[in-house]
Amino acid sequence: MHKVTPKVFLIGETRIVEDGLNDYLEHIGIPDWASDGPSDSEKLIEFYGRLCYRSFEPGMNANVTRIREGNDKYIGNILNVGHGSVIEHAMLNFVFADVSRVLTHELVRHRQGTAISQESLRFVRLTELGLWVPTCIQENPEAVALFEETFKHLEGLQLKLAETFDLDNMKNFGIKKVITSAMRRIAPIGLVTTIGWSVNPRALRHIIEMRTSRHAEEEIRIIFCEVARIVIERYPNVFSGYDTEEVDGLLEYTTKNRKV
């Protein structure tokens, strides 16, 4: 058994295919149009918003005599008016490591606008169990001892079952997978795991508010406080407009643009 701290890694993001974008801009007669967005994700969001209204330049749409200049102002208006559909075009790719299955069971409730790939315990045999201890348990030495004792016992059962079935020497992977799958049934829900999670910015804006709320579970608050810190720094225009308040040592994020 070993103790861990939940971790967030941003490992990917949507990128513009410059040749294709330039060909399209040439096609509609504005080859010199460019966005000043700080990331490709924000440039794409602006592009798709302008595509909806043909508002790349004044005069392209007879109903439009002036346009908003600048990615920050353009996306700010998208957030204000609630034109959230164009925010869905970008995707951000995360890995949440050293998190419990308590967290992943809650995370998968957010299905819209996400993609999920989780470490499979049908294939990955448990040996050493990882443990994150919630603050309310950490504050009570007797409770910490009970947590650790339980995890050590369950870890020992995993090792004993592997020895009983001689899994280290078993050649038939199909049978080994069946046994490995059965063994996970006595693993604790607090077991450390890894999950890959991709999300579009519209969905993420909502989830940040939901999961940094003071009413959310502590571990998922830790994860989404870190997610919020990363995305606000890297994508400042699309993740603008948040107010923060520290609650129980963690930031709670709220925004007036909930209709997005």
Question: Which positions are catalytic?
Answer: 211
Name the token pair of 177: 């997978």
Closest by CA to 208, choosing from 176, 179, 166, 240, is 240
Task: Give Rg (Cα) of the chain.
Answer: 24
Q: Are 114 and 197 within 8 A, CB to CB?
A: yes
The runs of H, that is alpha helices, within the chain are 18-27, 40-53, 71-81, 101-107, 135-138, 141-164, 173-183, 201-211, 218-234
